């Protein structure tokens, strides 16, 4: 908490807004939008690598959250106040930082992929700044941030190193799908057991089960796409990218809002929501725009 008190002493309205802007680069919506863009239009294999990294590290972070159950800084120290605008987005337990995990899982692989030192520098700087913003805003301690970074970088390195074994063997995608689905299923069961035993509240179990639903959806989507769809990503112009990505993201948002409206916010509904959304991204939307492209040729 000492470092957070130090940062609290240098807060001002300009830095508050700047750090709130920077922290958005660790938001789920930004990360999913980037993965969708790569998957639908640019580099399907790299998008799979990002997805496996993001969802695997996310499950690890969620399991740690409900295992350690460390409260937010303003609960640890009632005299401490976070930046007010950042509090609504700080859901769940504090340790480790979900925003930092998301940013590191996106920008660290991008840094590895980048062929220029400038690109590598700015990618690394981005996720470091996201981690710093979480501390500046008062939502996380250094332990929360650095643990999330360590997990994300470790998962990124392992998946990058073994990507040929995980992603390259299209003849047997079931093994890769089974690994991720197994992790996701175990995480969901663990969260439900803790909730039933009264150890964690329902809202914390929901956060973990949402991650599990997304992980299960990614595993199922990977398997179906590799075995049956085989769509080709890549675009020939900025116009074709825009005409693919913008409608896709808009329809994804509508689907998310529609599922939430129809089925509510129960733990089962949220798990199913994220499962369906990931299947939409990986299977249904690519199938639809592939059909449209073939008819327009």
The domain tally of the chain equals 1
Residue 266, by phi and psi: left (phi above 0), alpha (psi -120 to 50) or beta? Answer: beta
Given this model, what pLDDT does residue 90 score? 81
CA–CA separation, 18 and 10 (whole Å): 13
Q: Is the peptide bond before 96 cis (omega within 30 degrees of 0)?
A: yes
Q: Tens digit of pLDDT for each residue in 35-93?
A: 999 999 888 889 999 999 999 999 999 999 999 999 999 888 888 988 888 888 888 89
Q: Tens digit of pLDDT for each residue in 96-154?
A: 999 999 999 999 999 999 999 999 999 999 999 999 999 999 999 999 999 999 999 99
CA–CA separation, 40 and 14 (whole Å): 37
Q: Could you tell me the residue range of the domain that residue 82 belongs to?
A: 2-296
Yes or no: say if 264 and 230 are a contact pair by the CB < 8 Å rule.
no
Q: Tens digit of pLDDT for each residue in 151-199?
A: 999 999 999 998 887 777 555 678 888 888 999 999 999 999 999 999 9
């Amino acid at each position: 908490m000492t470092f957070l008190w130090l940062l609290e002493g240098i807060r001002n309205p300009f830095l508050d807004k700047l750090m709130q802007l920077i922290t958005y680069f660790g938001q789920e919506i930004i990360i999913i939008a980037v993965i969708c863009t790569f998957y639908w239009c640019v580099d399907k294999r790299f998008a799979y690598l990002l997805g496996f990294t993001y969802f695997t590290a996310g499950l690890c972070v969620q399991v740690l959250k409900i295992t350690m159950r460390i409260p937010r800084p303003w609960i640890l120290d009632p005299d401490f106040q976070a930046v007010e605008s950042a509090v609504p987005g700080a859901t769940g337990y504090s340790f480790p930082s979900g925003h930092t995990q998301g940013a590191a899982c996106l920008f660290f692989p991008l840094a590895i992929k980048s062929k220029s030192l400038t690109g590598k520098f700015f990618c690394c700087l981005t996720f470091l700044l996201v981690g710093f913003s979480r501390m500046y805003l008062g939502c996380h301690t250094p332990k929360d941030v650095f643990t999330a970074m360590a997990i994300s970088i470790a998962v990124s390195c392992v998946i990058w190193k073994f990507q040929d074994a995980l992603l390259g063997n299209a003849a047997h995608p079931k093994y890769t799908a089974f690994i991720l689905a197994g992790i996701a299923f175990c995480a969901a069961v663990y969260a439900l057991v803790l909730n039933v035993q009264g150890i964690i509240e329902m809202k914390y179990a929901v956060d973990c089960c949402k991650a599990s639903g997304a992980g299960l959806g990614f595993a199922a989507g990977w398997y179906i796409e590799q075995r049956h769809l085989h769509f080709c990503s890549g675009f020939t112009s900025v116009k074709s990218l825009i005409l693919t990505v913008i409608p896709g993201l808009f329809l994804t948002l509508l689907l998310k809002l529609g599922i939430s409206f129809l089925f509510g916010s129960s733990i089962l509904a949220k798990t199913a929501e994220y499962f369906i959304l990931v299947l939409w991204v990986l299977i249904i939307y690519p199938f639809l725009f592939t059909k449209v492209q073939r008819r327009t040729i």
